[in-house]
Amino acid sequence: MLVANHTSMLDIMLMLIVSPNPFVFVGKKELVSIPIFGFFYKRVCILVDRDSVKSRTGVYRRAQKRLNQGLSICIFPEGGVPEEHVVLDKFKDGAFKMAIAHNIPVVPMTFLDNKKRFSFTFLSGAPGPIRAIVHPFFETGILAASDTSTLREEVRQVILEDLVKN
């Protein structure tokens, strides 16, 4: 389970560069309606309608199918891009529930510069390096569903510490 902070359109491209293993994104269904982007997006993502319990539950089944095919799963656990002044928004449970349910490790990644290079604020950003830190894995083999919030907060803290430090 690949998880990273989400601050820029660059996050998707950087994830593709940083991860040596093939993976599939879990992403919100609403983005399918974006012209051109949506066409490709729906072909490379496990789509979720966050307002539908049935859709959220179906993600687990579709994720297991992809895991069985040898793919990893990538989720930006903030559930969207936070406002510009927010360093790291609260994480949603989905990625961590799924990692525990499927007994797969969580791989936290910190994307340090994407907000400075190409944020979602119109006409913002500047040239410069883009750095990513891949942290040690969090194993989930001995965890139960009741450990979801602890795992979520531990992973969030690892990413937040790097964002604040850098």
Is the domain defined by 2-165 classed in CATH 3.40.1130.10? yes
Segments of the chain with pLDDT less than 70: none
The pLDDT value given to residue 118? 86
The pLDDT value given to residue 52? 86
The pLDDT value given to residue 129? 93
Rounded to two decimals, the pTM is 0.89
Give the position of tokens 């496990």.
46
